[in-house]
Amino acid sequence: MKSRKSDARGFCNDLSFSQKLREAQKSNEAFEIMLSVLTLEEIIGLKLECSSRLTGGRLYGFNLWSKGVEIIKEALYSATISVAHTNKEACRILGVSEYTLKSLKKKYKIREEDVIEIE
């Protein structure tokens, strides 16, 4: 049986943003390299600016200020579980306790087969 540590992907690698976007032909290696040199603030700002341009100044149809924190937390959680090899590593990356990680799994409805034991 292959060890999780030898796998370059995390315990929920099927949730990888990169993989999903590449499969949908919305991303490629060159784009991801360019994206990796931007700060999170630059990426968010650019996304909002481009979206605003495309929608004539209307952004997503909801209160972005109040929903933004939750959107960012969900994105951080999803990205972390796609790269972390263990629950313990996911806790370390997110800076949360094991109890909080368990709560996040329930909140974001992580499938039972994707749950791994903490080392």
Q: Write out pLDDT tens, residues 4-41.
A: 444 445 556 566 778 889 999 999 999 999 999 999 89
In this structure, is residue 30 part of a structural domain? Answer: yes
Q: pTM of the prediction?
A: 0.65
Residues 104 and 91 in one domain: yes
Is the residue at 17 inside a domain?
yes
Give 52-88 pLDDT, tens digit per residue: 887 776 677 677 788 888 888 888 888 888 888 888 9
| Domain boundaries, position 83 | 63-111
Contact 76, 85 (CB under 8 A): no
* The predicted structure's pLDDT at residue 13: 55
For the record, the structure tokens of 88 come out as: 């313990």
Q: Are residues 105 and 67 in the same domain?
A: yes
7 falls within a domain: no
Going by pLDDT thresholds of 50, 70 and 90, the confidence category of residue 119 is very low
Query: Rounded to whole angstroms, what are the CA distances from 83 to 11, 19, 100?
Result: 7, 12, 18
